[in-house]
Structure 1
Amino acid sequence: MNYVRDLRALIGHAPVNWVGVCALVLNTENEVLLQRRTDTGGWGTPGGIAELGEPLPETLRRELWEEASITPLNPEFLTVISGPQTYQKLPNGDEFYQVVAVYVVREWHGVPVPDGEEGSELRFFRLDHLPVSLGPVDGEVLRLLRGR
């Protein structure tokens, strides 16, 4: 079962609320891990949509494993981002608003490797040298992180 695919088969490209997670993975130099997204070509934080009934901490673990081959240790809940500023329309026509639980991850097992499906590249960026092609939620959470 694929929650997103199955729901889209029923409703097409119509706007929906997606509930999910965003991971601010920081290395020892306080640089943040970003992935180059295959759907938009832009950069974004690892994370994604919760499967039906899935607890958000489990979504965080699953998404980090799927997208970066890492397992978070002691993630710290930071905030929830939601509202009209989270609206996105993907190149394929899918529209959505996001309700995102944001976690800071300072420790993990594994070596970050892109999955090649959702992300084509993973790279750590200094917080004062971030790419400009960030989505609305990514931009907001990275501003919050810089302010901490």
Structure 2
Amino acid sequence: MPAIATQTAQVPTDDPRVVHALAWRAKLSLDPQELDTLARPGMPYAVLQKIAHNPAASAETLERLIQLDERSLTYPVTRRGDLSPAVIDRIARRLTDRNAIYHASSAPNAAPDTLRYLASHPSAPAGTRETVARRLGDDTLPAA
């Protein structure tokens, strides 16, 4: 299957039929290497979103997705139940976008230290602090 991903790297992604085919490939692929190849700059959002939801995608691929589109892909990536708290922590510590920080604060597998970090981030919106306080049952979070 990696040969297919190599071929798609050379295909222009401005044709809607190509985008549709790549999105289906990203959705149905069981090959982590193929998904990693598809997760590249210039790939349409529809394809990147399918990779984010695909259980075969590796943690490294998911982290790259966040680098490619932090604002839009943080939510689907951090909702995955198969991500370890360590991966979520690595993702959270690279975030700079307000919306991404807010979405990461509700990640089901986020560790308490990660949640506290997100709540105290200078770019965190007020809702992040409230979400984290509610999740931790803690009203003593440091001021942002």
- Structure with the higher strand share, 1 or 2: 1
Q: If the length of structure 1 is used for normalisation, what is the TM-score?
A: 0.25
- Structure with the higher helix share, 1 or 2: 2
* Structure whose CA Rg is larger: 2
